[in-house]
Amino acid sequence: MKVTVTTRHLKNSKDTAKIKAYALKKSNRIERYVKSEKDPSELRFILSSEKFRDTAEISISCGNIKATSSVETNDIYAAIDDAVDTIIKQLKKQTEKKTKEKRRTGNKSKNEIAKSSPTNNLDFDYLEDIRVQKLPPKPMSLEEASLQLQVSDANFVAFRNSESGSMNVIYISRRGQKILIEP
């Protein structure tokens, strides 16, 4: 990780060396949350002092992770500490978002599974013929489902039972009887 410390308007050169060393020491805390071996990363400290205000600005860029923080206090050391803490919070938040995203999209699609396993050369072409039909979102009673079955030209009706809350199927058998399937 490339670390750059820039100081502006600091009065004493001895203090400047100490402040730069302190900023470099604090940069180690930030390096824990950035994987610099994968992506080139850059960390910039801009430390400035004007009258009674000391400002610490930190910006980091590593691949697609970018974070900035600016803190203004009466003490430059406290400003550095607060800025480092806010950068760490931002980095944690961004990495948590990425891990959650990976967990959500971690399951491979059927095509990826077919490509990755050379022993199972399955064709998923038969899945292209499947037509998806959405169920009505409101629950139905058994009587409503029976009426829906009589009105439609389908042989069955899948519905959510309003009494039990579970999915049920009602269909007409070959003998012409209505049969209810419950889980």
Domain boundaries, the chain: 2-104, 134-183
User: Who wins on pLDDT, 6 or 104?
Assistant: 6
Q: How far is CA 169 from CA 100, 129, 155, in A?
A: 36, 23, 10
Closest of 150, 152, 117 to residue 135, by C-alpha: 152
Tell me what pLDDT residue 45 has: 92
Q: Give the mean pLDDT of the chain.
A: 81
CATH 3.10.105.10 for the 134-183 domain, yes or no: no
Tell me what pLDDT residue 59 has: 92
The percent of residues above 70 in pLDDT, for the chain, comes to 83
Torsion of CA 152, 154, 159, 163, to 10 degrees: 60
Tell me what pLDDT residue 89 has: 92
Torsion of CA 105, 108, 112, 113, to 10 degrees: 170
Q: What is the largest CA-CA distance in the chain?
A: 99
Rounded to whole angstroms, the Cα distance separating 121 from 49 reads 67
The secondary element (H helix, E strand) that includes residue 136 is none
**What pTM did the predictor assign?**
0.54
- Output the CA torsion sign for 90, 94, 99, 103: positive
Look at 10-14, 81-85, 123-127, 141-145 and tell me which has the smallest mean pLDDT: 123-127
pLDDT in tens, 98-138: 788 777 766 555 556 555 555 444 556 666 777 777 766 67
Residues 6+ apart with CB under 8 A from 182: 161, 164, 166, 168
Tell me what pLDDT residue 125 has: 65
Task: Report the CATH architecture of 2-104.
Answer: 2-Layer Sandwich (3.30)
> Identical fold at 2-104 and 134-183?
no
